[in-house]
Amino acid sequence: MRQDMEFSIPGRPKQVLERCRDPEVARARAASDPTLAAEVTELGGPVDGGAFLVYAVTGRLPESWIPARVAAAMPAQVQVSRREAWFLADDGGAHAQVDIDLGAIPATRIRAAARLAPRGPQDSALIYRLDLDVSVPLLGSAIERAVLGRLAAALEREAEVIRGA
């Protein structure tokens, strides 16, 4: 199942990423969804490998994000983590390699990508694409809908933080 999200952010892509390197902004992004109890585990840039910004968070996967029948079979505290390595592009935009680990959700594969595209003279579009595949008979699509919806809401809260920074 695929989820595409787009958020309008003030500033050109490089300016947006510079704001996101601020430790206070990074902490506010991590705290924007209190159910995740996320903490910043990596923040920096430019870094070896050419990334302009690296942002990583780890939190716990709330049981409310997944169907009760699946949650009952999982460990009590499941960690979820996300790492974004942002690279500036020649066209004035930026793209990110995004790695998301959903911990112990069974038979789960997630692919993610992000980009910042210039929109007008002083705005950018922050675009995320998430592809989640849960290969569990009968429950896979329910897990996909629930988790993607919650991830999208969490990313929207983070976009609000970035927008206000």
What pLDDT is attached to residue 134? 85
Integer Rg of the chain from CA = 16
Mean pLDDT of the region 136-161:
88
CA separation for the pair 119, 133 (Å, rounded): 31
pTM of the model: 0.90
What pLDDT is attached to residue 106? 67
Q: What is the mean pLDDT of the chain?
A: 90
CA angle 137, 138, 144 (to 5 degrees): 90
Residues with Cβ within 8 Å of residue 118, at least 6 apart in sequence: 12, 13, 91, 92, 93, 124
Q: Is the pLDDT of residue 12 over 80?
A: yes
- Return the domain boundaries, the chain: 2-164
pLDDT band with cut points at 50, 70 and 90 for residue 62 = confident
For the stretch 99-115, pLDDT in tens is 998 876 766 889 999 99
Beta bridge partners of 115: 95, 127
CATH of 2-164, one of 3.40.50.2300, 3.90.1300.10, 3.30.530.20, 1.10.620.20: 3.30.530.20
For the record, the structure tokens of 165 come out as: 């920074």
DSSP 156: H
What pLDDT is attached to residue 5? 96
Of 50-54, 102-106, 143-147, the one with minimum mean pLDDT is: 102-106
Strands 39-44 and 2-10, sheet pairing: unpaired
Q: Is the pLDDT of residue 36 over 80?
A: yes
Among the listed residues 87, 113, 86, 88, the one whose alpha carbon sits nearest the alpha carbon of residue 99: 113
Phi, psi angle pair for 65, to nearest 5°: -80, -15
More confident residue, 103 or 130: 130
* Residue found under tokens 């003279």: 121
Mean pLDDT of the region 38-65:
91
For the record, the structure tokens of 81 come out as: 């983590």
DSSP string, 42-96: EEE-S-TTS-SEEEEEEEE--GGGS-HHHHTTS-SS-EEEEEEEEEE-TTS-EEE
